[in-house]
Amino acid sequence: MNIADLQARLRAFAAERRWEPYQTPKNLAMAMVVEAAELVEIFQWKTPQESQALDEATRVHLGEEIADVLLYLLQIADHCQVDVTSAVERKLVMNARKHPPLPREGESA
């Protein structure tokens, strides 16, 4: 996935609809959490097991919600000059420090 290219397309898309005045980071963050909750809605009444065995129609729907959240994330990053790839790499390092791996089974700690 080419993030810079996607961000450029999203900027052009917004410009062609004269949406720029609405696309403040504050508003984009609100739109993003609304889409995040629509993704949650797919799973709200499912058991954990059912959530692991979605039918095809639900997987298509899920893909749409994943895309919606992702596209808003990329727009927030674009408008706030956050480099998504570096942010992800930095976060993976932080997560690894915060949660050290467990010793393998049979290994002493």
Which residues in this chain contact its own copies in the complex, by CB under 8 A?
A: 1, 3, 6, 9, 13, 16-18, 22, 24-27, 29-34, 36-49, 51-52, 54, 59, 62-64, 66-71, 73, 76-77, 79-88, 90-92, 94-96, 99, 101-102
- In whole angstroms, how close is the CB of 14 to its own copies at the nearest point? 10
* Cα angle 17-77-6, degrees, rounded to a multiple of 5: 55
| Angle between helix 84-98 and helix 56-79 axes, rounded to 10 deg | 110
d(CA 35, CA 38) in angstroms, rounded, equals: 5
Q: Is 79 exposed, middle or buried (0-12, 13-18, 19+ CB in 10 A)?
A: middle
CA 43 to chain centre: 17
- In whole angstroms, how close is the CB of 105 to its own copies at the nearest point? 9
Q: Which of residues 16 and 106 has its CB atom nearest to its own copies in the complex?
A: 16
Q: Which of residues 49 and 108 has its CB atom nearest to its own copies in the complex?
A: 49
- In whole angstroms, how close is the CB of 87 to its own copies at the nearest point? 3
